[in-house]
Amino acid sequence: MSVITGFLGSGKTTLLNRILKDPAMADTAVIINEFGDIGLDHLLVEQAEDGILELSSGCLCCTIRGDLVTTLENLLRQIDNGRRDKLARVVIETTGLADPGPILHTIMLHPYLVLRYRLESVVTLVDGVNGLETLATHEEARRQVAVADRLVLTKTDLIESAEVSAEFEELKARLKGLNPGARVLSAQTGDATPQRLFDAGLYDPATKIPDVAKWLNDEAYIDHGHSHHHHHDSENDHGHHKGHAHGHSHGHTHDVNRHDDRIRAFTLATDRAIPASALEMFLDLLRSAHGPKLLRVKGIVQIAEDPSRPVVIHGVQHVFHPPATLDAWPDADHRTRMVFITHDLPESFVSQLFDAFSGALKTDTPDPQTMVDNPLAISGFTSPIRG
């Protein structure tokens, strides 16, 4: 299942009209919402009548999520009853003003749908001409960019003047700052094929084998200067982990008038295996206390009880998909790696909390100044697990 989003006028309908003609979109059901948007071409709707489902009773992000669940369940019933031969993919188009989070929650929280559907990608369209202004003035647009697996630049054929071209380069830089891990495609150059748009999930659609490196893409965050590494190879004579280092590199600049610094993208990584209970407590505390600020969380974790079988986590705000345990590590990299995209949630807070639950912090009684400066100390998280 994939979600296509993008601010009003970004070209979602145009893109859908084009890719639905691609043979790769065979056996695809498309759920669209006419609220605030122009409908798909009438001819195309007639040609693909069995695969186009319109939800026109209201905004897809909130008022008709019940209808969305019913529609997804009906698609499954059609397969189970033999009325539909095959359903390879479902594509959901949101309205331009929608935060895609609630739609993703609908799938991740439903006890039946989560067993039958797998989230493949979130695709966000960005107007190449007006995108810079849209990002500057609309929080929804920035959130749409932040949660995306794929970013599609549209209307780039309208860029003619040097001024607009300069703004386009600035737009690309801002997109990279908001979401360094998202792959950027062009709608005009033919980049945005169904395979490139939707093949962003954990499992390779052809082999069904997990491709964690592609899905997590944590190297992109490191290259961009947002990284937090914990190395625990050895200890010194005092029992401290001498390899423990906080590798922050912030080479970017922020314009205080832009609000981009409210959205942060970073990774946490460690060589240390984490007890399953500690991971659960870490995630539970984050989502219960700061759920709305967690725009997206993806990770692969080495579990202390079974280090040879990593656990994959995926969350959107306060909702997390049931963890998946892989049969084996997909490659030679056995580190725990977690990618966070947050809104108004400092990287330092998340990394310190992670240190506390992963066992990286020693059990000391902090001095009074630490109690003021360290939010974890105030919360009582001065030891790895209190119990």
Nearest to 96 by CA among 2, 8, 4, 3: 8
Q: What are phi and psi of 384, to 5 degrees?
A: -55, -50
Sign of the CA dihedral 224, 228, 234, 238? positive
Nearest to 93 by CA among 154, 144, 161: 144
| pLDDT score of 354 | 92
| pLDDT score of 160 | 86
Do 121 and 200 meet the contact criterion of CB atoms below 8 Å apart? yes
d(CA 209, CA 312): 13
The token pair at 261 is: 């610094």
Which class for 323: exposed (0-12), middle (13-18), buried (19 or more C-beta within 10 A)? middle
Cβ neighbours for 208, distance < 8 A, ≥ 6 positions apart:
none
pLDDT in tens, the chain (387 residues): 899 999 888 888 888 888 988 998 888 888 876 544 445 544 444 444 556 666 655 554 445 467 788 888 989 998 999 888 888 889 988 876 667 888 888 888 888 888 888 888 999 999 999 999 999 988 889 999 999 999 999 999 898 899 989 999 999 999 999 999 999 999 988 889 998 999 887 876 666 677 888 888 888 887 555 455 544 433 333 333 333 333 333 333 334 334 566 899 999 999 999 999 999 999 999 999 999 999 999 999 999 999 999 999 999 998 888 888 999 998 899 999 999 999 999 999 999 999 988 875 444 445 555 445 554 443 443 333 333
Residue whose tokens read 């725990």: 336
Work out the number of other CB atoms within 10 angstroms of the CB of residue 16: 20
The token pair at 303 is: 């579990």
What does DSSP assign to residue 161? S
| pLDDT score of 333 | 92
| pLDDT score of 54 | 61
Cβ neighbours for 71, distance < 8 A, ≥ 6 positions apart:
31, 53, 55
- Rg over alpha carbons for the chain, rounded to the nearest Å, is 22
The token pair at 222 is: 């490191």
Residue whose tokens read 């190879």: 233
| pLDDT score of 108 | 84
Domains and CATH numbers, the chain: 2-198 (3.40.50.300), 216-234+242-379 (3.30.1220.10)
| pLDDT score of 353 | 92
Cβ neighbours for 229, distance < 8 A, ≥ 6 positions apart:
245, 246, 247, 269, 270
pTM given for the model: 0.76
d(CA 154, CA 258): 22
β partners of residue 314 = 298
Nearest to 121 by CA among 170, 178, 181: 181
